[in-house]
Structure formats: C-alpha cells, structure tokens
Amino acid sequence: MLTRRATFRAGIAALALAVTPAAFAPAALAQDGAPIKVGEINSYTRMAAFTEPYKKGWELALEEINAAGGIKGRPIEVLSRDDGGDPATAIRIADELVNRENVSLIFGTFLSNIGLAVSDFANQSQTLFIASEPLTDELIWASGNRYTYRLRPGTHMQAAMLAEQAAKTDAMTWAVIAPNYAYGTDAVEAFKRELTKLKPDVKFVEEQWPPLFNIDAGSTVRALEQSKPDGIFNVTFGGDLAKFVREGSLRGLFDDRVVVSLLSGEPEYLEPLGAEAPEGWIVTGYPGMDVDTPEHTPFAEAYQAKWGEAPKTGSIVGYNSMMTIKALLEKAPNLETETLLTTMEGLRVTAPTGDFLFRPVDNQATMGAWVGKTGIVDGAPVMVDWHYADGEDYLPSEADALKLRPENQ
C-alpha cells in the first residue's frame, strides 16, 4: 500500500511538473543570486487595449532594475498570468502563484471586481497584494484589509479633482452619464458629493446608465439633451465613449456646455477618438510625452526607445508598480510577508510621476493624476492646460480615512 501511494504521489508530481514548465524551487532554497519571485495577474485578453501599455510599463522597469543588478544582487522574476477577465480564474491563479510558486507578493489587476477578489484572497492567504490599476475605493476603505495596497488614484480622488474644476465653472444644473455598474455609480456618487460640498446650490437634473459596452448612444444623448443641463459629467469609456462622443457632437449635445469627463484625458481613451475628440472637456488623464519634469523625461524616452510608442496611463501605472516593488524589496530586510507589510507602511517611492508614498492609514498611494482640458493639436487629441494634481490633496484626511476602514467600524 505504501509503495503504491508513493508511486501515486510521484506520478502526480511528475504530472504537475509536466504541466508547469517553470520548475518550482521552494523559497527556503533561495540564496544570493536566486531570483525574487513576484506574481502578477491582469486581464490581458479581455482588456487588451488597457493592459498592453501597462505590461510594457512594468516590463521596462523590470528590465532596468535587473540590468542594474537587481535587488541586493538578486534579479526580480515576474510570473505574469492572464485572468481572462474572470474573478474566479484570477483567484485560482493567485492561489497557484502563492501556494505553488511561492511568490513573495502579487501585483496587478485592472478590473475592479478582480482587484477586490484578489484582495480578499490576499487577506485570506496572508500575502501582500499591490493593486495596480483598479479604481474602486472599496479596495482601500469599506473592504480594505492590511494585505492590500492600491497604487493608482481611485474613483474618489479622480472625481474630487474634477469636482474642483467643475466648481469653478458657471454650470449649476448637471446631467450625468455613467456605465451601469459599480465603477459608474461610485464615480457619480463621489462627483455629486464633492461638487455639492464645494457648491451647495448645484442641481443634478438627469442620469443615464447605459449598460457597459452596450450603450444606445443616440437615445442616451437625446435623453440628456432633453434635460437641458449646464454641465455634463461623463464616466463612460472605451467603445461607449467613442459612440457617445460621435452621437453627442452630431446632435450638438456638447455645444455651449461644460463637460467634465472622468479619465478621458488618458491616452487609452483619448487617442482612439482621433481628430473627432471633443475639445475643451475637463478631464483627468495623462499628457504622455508632454510632461517634461526631470523625473518623467528619462522614463518617457526609455519607454519610447524600447516600445516605439509614447507611454500611456497604463504604462506609467505599470512602471510605478514595479518601482514600488523595487523600493519595497530594497528596504525590506527579508521577504517574510509581515516584514513586507511593515515596510509598505509609509513606503516612499521615487517614480516618474514624482515621489509618492503609501499612507499607512488606508494603504492608498498618494500618486496623483493630471487634470486639464482636451484639445486637438496637429490633428491629434491631447490634453492642454494641464497640471499635475498630487493625490495627497484629494484623499480624505487620515482621521476620516481611518473611520472608513472596516477594522475601525
């Protein structure tokens, strides 16, 4: 019986080896020179337009770090996997990365629900998770946990940046259009809250909630038009945004109106619109090669040299993710999760966007975003009149944030 069991185990192990090309070396064996393994998950096939630049970003940073000798003589090895856009698959992959591949931490994810699923898994399996791209604030507040840190400025921060600009306009009546899911509803709620704080007299007169990537743009545009608002707050993106812009400009929806649009200044969203991109929309985004700070320029040039194209928002988020990991691993005395968590608290990261840190109170990075207007230069859509909005200024105070965390409720 014993021999049979042993044979069985060996057989299964062989099978597992055959299935996984990467041989698995237990962490205990790691020594000087052995790579530090880091897990990465994102929706590469489902959200290709957004995750490709992101991947190029972290690959660039990884190359730079390893070319410079890695971390304390050890290269970083990223085990990157596609989750196909499905939360359950993402958890299965995370499980494999953590429990079979013994990675030291996980980073990545784009879709909010996948970010939340992996964050919950990280909490359960006591593994550090750096959520690179998901915008939902559940990650850091209502469903926040000590194992999850978030890099990119979330829905609340971006909406607050826009509300600040919107308050400076004369628009008093507002219509909103947002995709009908958590991201859309959260963004609208945050914008309403922040704008009303700054300008208590504003009225919200119309709401449109098209299904994600299935907008009936003509009808929606007309419904918005009917309410004759002074301003429009838009949260749609991707294919929906293109349709909305086309139908809206044809029907004159944007004429003489203030339009405030979340993320629409990001090259991922703006570039596909080409010469038809609307002008004068107030947006958050990323001006790409136009940012000429000493921190940013070397990154942008290296990116352009490696990939033959200008960096996009995803690129800088991907790059900053890897820079975060670099800062973390350089500072942490060992790779134990508890050590990593302690090191993450208040960790300061040097990055193309300028230095930022991870707030110990809610695990949110203070990385900011650019706020400006859309415009057309030489037939190509760009951000104009932009400035960098430091994330720190748009986060709730540490005392307020503390109250939002579940462990304090």
User: Where in 173-202 is the site for other proteins (CB under 8 A)?
Assistant: 180-183, 185
Using the minimum distance from each CB to other proteins, give the nearer residue, 209 or 388.
209
Q: Per CB under 8 A, which of residues 84..113 are in contact with other proteins? A: 84, 86-89, 91-93, 95-96, 98-100, 102, 112-113
One-letter identity of residue 46: R
Contact 270, 284 (CB under 8 A): no
Q: Which of 25, 172, 250, 380 binds other proteins (CB under 8 A)?
A: 250
Rule CB under 8 A: is residue 9 a binding residue for other proteins? yes
Rule CB under 8 A: is residue 331 a binding residue for other proteins? no
Using the minimum distance from each CB to other proteins, give the nearer residue, 77 or 82.
82
CB of 380 to other proteins, least distance (A): 13
Quote the CA–CA distance of 151 and 317 in Å, as a whole number: 8
Question: What is the Cα 350 distance to its own chain's centre?
Answer: 18
CB of 48 to other proteins, least distance (A): 4
Q: In this structure, are strands 36-42 and 356-357 parallel, antiparallel, or unpaired?
A: unpaired
CB of 398 to other proteins, least distance (A): 24
Rule CB under 8 A: is residue 281 a binding residue for other proteins? no
Stretch that binds other proteins, among 28-36, 79-87, 196-204, 321-329 (CB under 8 A): 79-87
Rule CB under 8 A: is residue 280 a binding residue for other proteins? no
Q: Per CB under 8 A, which of residues 128..167 are in contact with other proteins? A: 136, 138, 143
Rule CB under 8 A: is residue 222 a binding residue for other proteins? yes
Using the minimum distance from each CB to other proteins, give the nearer residue, 214 or 297.
214
Q: Which of 193, 198, 213, 330 binds other proteins (CB under 8 A)?
A: 213
Q: Give SS3 for 348.
A: strand
What one-character DSSP code corresponds to residue 394?
G
Stretch that binds other proteins, among 57-65, 162-170, 238-246, 318-326 (CB under 8 A): 238-246
Stretch that binds other proteins, among 114-122, 294-302, 319-327, 359-367 (CB under 8 A): 114-122
Q: Could you tell me how many residues of this chain bind other proteins (CB under 8 A)?
A: 77
Q: Give SS3 for 379.
A: coil
Contacts of 146 (CB under 8 A, 6+ apart): 123, 341, 363, 407
Quote the CA–CA distance of 285 and 233 in Å, as a whole number: 15
CA nearest to 368, candidates 313, 300, 303, 409: 313
Q: Which of 71, 195, 273, 317 binds other proteins (CB under 8 A)?
A: 273
CA nearest to 122, candidates 138, 144, 152, 137: 144
Residue 107 backbone dihedrals phi, psi, to 5 degrees:
-140, 170
Q: In this structure, are strands 128-131 and 203-208 parallel, antiparallel, or unpaired?
A: unpaired
Token readout for 128 is 């550090």
Contact 325, 38 (CB under 8 A): yes
Site map 32..61 versus other proteins, x via CB under 8 A: -------------x--xx--x---------
